[in-house]
Structure 1
Amino acid sequence: MKRDSIIFDLDGTLWNASETVVKAFNNSIQEVGFDIRITSQTVRDFSGMKMDDIFAQHFSFVPKEKLKEFEAIYAQKESQYLKEFGGELFPKVRETLEKLTKHYRLFIVSNCMKGYIENFIGFFSFEDLFEDFECFGNDGFPKDKNIRLIVERNNLQNPVYVGDTIWDKESSEKAGVDFIYAAYGFGKIENPKIQIQSFEDLLTLEF
């Protein structure tokens, strides 16, 4: 059956917003009274995890009674900073997406917070390229469920998911969707079935 659609992960696949995101995290940490800083590398390392897991595993120094306040401050700063500073597209993403949309329906599924995908789309004026998107922040569902949601909601017949982490691969498999590994991204996957070394490789890939 002919491939009809491509679902993309966001961080490490379409763009790198770690410099903006780390600024939001560090300013939020300061605001709740801690003199601790994380690095943009740490942000890239936990990219792809669900937000509640990120807060639990990487910000355990924030006491439970302050966690909700920290999360609320971070959500506000993340959105504000993304609107202002955005992130960096990987090479040839815009041109490649414009070519892909002539042959495939395009979607995004990410484990990000509510509003993150909208900020990405708005920053680059990508409204005409992506038909639909879903994220953990909207519904609290893990990535495999959100991939299935996009598939069912849009009646996709033969989609593929493009992502850069082992969590992306596992989620795709769980959702019953073929997976393409973006080897230029943040994660490392051993012996993937299909991989791309740059985003524009999607134009020449037989998938």
Structure 2
Amino acid sequence: MKNLADKGIDSILFDLDGTLWDATIACAQAWNKSFEECGYKNTIGRKLIRKISGSPLDVVLTEYFTFIKEKDYERVIKQYQKNEPQYMQTIGGRLFPNVRATLQKLRSHKKLFIVSNCLKGYIENFIEKKSLEKIFTGYKSSGETGQAKKENIKMIITEYKLKSPVYVGDTQWDFEASKGNNIPFIYAKYGFGEINNAGYEIKNIKDLLELIR
């Protein structure tokens, strides 16, 4: 495994879905409820949720939910924004193996952040539901800022005056956002997406303890 120890990494920015936890069941049910409320009988499952994880909402609607009429886009999104928090509160998601212990160890000598393309309130719900309030220094979501992941990473770097950050994620969107900020990217191979030639990769989140010392 290639090592980042000589890079002087001072902070780690994490993607959320597919990197820290798996909330595909709750997400699928929230979407299906939204479809039903908008008059659509179509349903989706965990497999498609894994595929669309990390994608901007406009991409999800136009490329994956092709059964939805364009005139209904706004209504479906509005219903999903209402339903998702409810399903996250009642069902939530499960942390990937070794996430809690690894984050606690990393927190002792690195600043930790979350940057996700999720709705406003999603990160806060994750932190509260998994009792991780003392772990993260800060976070940004597309739902909060209205910006794409690339811009949100830049905001975190600027706001917290980070000197040598690294981003950990599982999708091509994550990889591109990291490249756009000229920071190292670590591919969470255990997650939802597939990335070729990511450079650095981990098969379990605990591998970060060896990769970033």
Shorter-chain TM-score category? over 0.9
Structure-to-structure mapping, 1:128-167, within 5 angstroms: 128-167=134-173
Deviates more, 1:23-32 or 1:57-66: 57-66
Is the aligned partner of 1:63 residue 2:61? no
**Distance across 1 between alignment mates of 2:193 and 2:64:** 17
- What whole-Å deviation, never above 9, does each CA across 1:22-42 have from its counterpart, x for those lacking one? 000011111111110111110
Structure 1 unaligned segments of length 5 or more: list them.
Answer: none
Contact 1:93 1:199 in 2 (8 A): yes
Shift of 1:13: 0.4
Which amino acid in 1 is paired with 2:134? D
**Distance across 1 between alignment mates of 2:143 and 2:85:** 13
- What whole-Å deviation, never above 9, does each CA across 1:71-126 have from its counterpart, x for those lacking one? 11111110111011110110010011000000100000011111111111111111
Of 87, 96, 103, 1:97 maps to 103
* Cross-structure match for 2:78: 72
**Distance across 1 between alignment mates of 2:125 and 2:62:** 25
Is the aligned partner of 1:86 residue 2:97? no
Secondary structure of the 1:133 match is strand
Is the aligned partner of 1:193 residue 2:193? no
**Distance across 2 between alignment mates of 1:183 and 1:11:** 13
- What whole-Å deviation, never above 9, does each CA across 1:123-174 have from its counterpart, x for those lacking one? 1111110111111111221111110000001111100000011111111010
**Distance across 2 between alignment mates of 1:165 and 1:117:** 18
* Cross-structure match for 1:205: 211
Shift of 1:57: 2.2
- What whole-Å deviation, never above 9, does each CA across 1:24-65 have from its counterpart, x for those lacking one? 001111111111011111010011111222123222322233
Which amino acid in 2 is paired with 1:7? L
Secondary structure of the 1:60 match is coil
**Distance across 1 between alignment mates of 2:204 and 2:139:** 23
Structure 1 outlier segments of 4+, above 4 Å: none
**Distance across 2 between alignment mates of 1:111 and 1:56:** 17
Shift of 1:206: 4.3
Secondary structure of the 2:157 match is helix
TM-score (norm 2): 0.93
TM-score (norm 1): 0.96
